[in-house]
Structure 1
Amino acid sequence: MEAIDIEPWLFRVEPLEGESFSHFLGRFRRANKLTPTGLGKMAGLGGAIARWEKFRFNPPPSRQQLEALAFVIGVKGDRLQEMLPPLGVGMKLEPVRLCGACYAQSPCHKIEWQFKTATGCDRHKLRLLSECPNCKARFKIPALWFEGACQRCFMTFAQMAEYQKLIV
Structure 2
Amino acid sequence: MEAIDIQPWMFRVEPLQGESLSHFLGRFRRANELTPTGLGKMAGLGGAIARWEKFRFNPPPSLQQLEALGVVVRVERERLQEMLPPPGVGMKLEPIRLCGACYAQSPCHRIEWQFKEMQGCDRHGLMLLSECPNCGARFKVPALWVDGWCQRCFLGFAEIAKYQKAI
Question: Unpaired runs of 5+ in structure 2?
Answer: none
Give the superposition deviation at 1:6.
1.1
Determine the structure 2 residue equivalent to 1:159.
Answer: 159
Mapped to 2, the partners of 1:107 and 1:161 lie a distance apart of: 13
Residue 39 of structure 2: aligned partner = 39
Which deviates more, 2-11 or 149-158?
A: 2-11
Alignment partner, residue 26 of structure 2 = 26
Aligned counterparts, 1:1-168, within 5 A: 1-167=1-167
Question: Over residues 78-103 of structure 1, what are the superposed CA-to-partner deviations in whole Å (9 max), with x where a residue is unaligned?
Answer: 00000000000000000000000000
Determine the C-alpha separation between the residues in 2 that align with 1:130 and 1:73: 29
Distance 1:7 1:26 in 2: 22
TM-score computed with the length of structure 1 as normaliser: 0.98
Alpha carbon RMSD of aligned pairs, Å?
0.6
Q: Distance in 2 between matches of 1:158 and 1:79?
A: 26
The count of corresponding residues between Structure 1 and Structure 2 is 167
Per mean C-alpha deviation after superposition, the further-off stretch among 120-129 and 2-11 is 2-11
Normalising by the residue count of structure 2, what TM-score does the alignment of the two structures yield?
0.99
CA distance in 1, matches of 2:113, 2:61: 20
Per-residue displacement from partner, 1:2-25 (whole Å, max 9, x unpaired)?
A: 332211010010000000000000
For the residue of structure 2 that corresponds to 1:71, the secondary structure is helix
Cα deviations by residue, 1:87-137 (Å, 9 ceiling, x for unpaired): 000000000000000000000000000000000000000000000000100
